[in-house]
Amino acid sequence: MPVIDQLAQPDPTRRRPRRTAAGRPPWMDRPSPTMQSLKVVAIAAIVVVMLYPFLYVIMFSFADGRSVGSGQLWPTSFSTSAYESIFAGGVVTRSLLVTAGITVVGTLLSLVFTSMLAYGLTRTRQVPFSKAAMVMVLCTMFFGAGIIPNYLLVKQLGLLDSYWALILPGLISAFNMIVMRNFFMELPQELFESARIDGASEFRIFASIVLPLSKAVLAVIALFYAVGYWNSFFNALLYINDTTKWPIQLVLNQYVVQSNAMTDLQAPDRPAPPAQTVQMAIVVVATLPILVVYPFAQRFFTKGVLTGAIKG
């Protein structure tokens, strides 16, 4: 028998996937009631394990002194004195405004510079030394200068005790830039060629074609940057000595993790609530804004993650 005919014949020793009576693979069939019940129980247990700590923090942030002093696992009497005290003190309110400003400005600037760099590195023929620049960007993912050289650089640039010290050192993330560059490379090149024939410049192509087609990945990268800026406290710990410029995460670290005295957080004309409720209230205030924003960006996040996985 010729070799081609031998290859065309089915291999009798090859194991075929098991199929059900309906002719479908087992994983496509509807699970049995017992299996469905087990899945519901497992998912419910995971939800309880994940949500209980967060609900515990919220409940104890509203607990009054009697519930905290009695050592109850779940408070039975509630009060808003912790929130009234920290917001009347002014420190938490000011730090929230600082963090919000850093997050908004930093995210916008990071998106602008990351998208411009990513698009420039896709134009290997138009941009000279683009491959060398790509290698330099990749090197930053594996090699870092260290804390002391970074501090000396920020100091020499005159950025100590400046909000720019919290934005400029992390303005461009190499990982985010690579994700955006790969997305740009998947866009139809015919659109760019037709735009060049019509006389459009590279900046016009970038602003009028690339960015409108990249809303999904821009939303994903914006979410990454926003979460990073909101949760960042180490740069503030290194570069910010003025306590009036502390972001909320540094306040959270100093007064909850380090357990520093919280007298300056609270209003002087109010009775001091229990320290545990104040700590829990700061945790809620520092966490809640990003949790509120995430559901609105989730649909863009899902679309941006899936885009590029399917080849058309």
Amino acid 20: pLDDT: 52
- For the chain, the distance separating the N- and C-terminal CA atoms, rounded to the nearest angstrom, is 40
pLDDT at 268 over 70: no
pLDDT at 291 over 60: yes
Amino acid 112: pLDDT: 94
Q: Partners of 78 in the beta sheet?
A: 63
d(CA 41, CA 25): 25
Q: Which ranges constitute the DSSP H helices of 81-173?
A: 81-89, 91-122, 130-142, 147-156
Amino acid 43: pLDDT: 92
pLDDT in tens, 213-250: 888 888 889 988 998 999 888 899 899 988 889 998 88
Task: Give the rounded distance of the alpha carbon of 78 from its chain centre.
Answer: 33
What class does CATH assign to 81-306? mainly alpha
d(CA 239, CA 241): 7
d(CA 75, CA 118): 52
CB contact burial 51-80 (16+ within 10 A = b; e otherwise): eeeeeeeeebbbbbbebbeeeeeebeeebe
Identify the weakest region by mean pLDDT among 47-61, 123-137, 214-228.
Answer: 123-137
Tell me the pLDDT band of 41, cut-offs 50, 70 and 90: very high
pLDDT at 207 over 50: yes
pLDDT in tens, 93-115: 889 999 999 999 999 999 999 99
Amino acid 62: pLDDT: 84
Query: Where exactly are the structural domains of the chain?
Result: 81-306
pLDDT at 10 over 60: no
Residue of 304 and 161 predicted with greater confidence: 161
CA nearest 93: which of 163, 101, 242? 101
Tell me the pLDDT band of 16, cut-offs 50, 70 and 90: low
Tell me the pLDDT band of 4, cut-offs 50, 70 and 90: very low
**Rg, Å, the chain Cα set:** 27
Task: Kindly tell me the number of DSSP H helices and DSSP E strands found in the chain.
Answer: 15, 0
Amino acid 135: pLDDT: 86
Amino acid 72: pLDDT: 64
pLDDT averaged over the chain?
80
Amino acid 229: pLDDT: 93
Task: Give the rounded distance of the alpha carbon of 266 from its chain centre.
Answer: 31
pLDDT at 191 over 90: no
Amino acid 195: pLDDT: 86
pLDDT in tens, 145-179: 888 889 999 999 999 999 999 999 889 999 999 88
Residue of 140 and 72 predicted with greater confidence: 140
d(CA 179, CA 33): 42
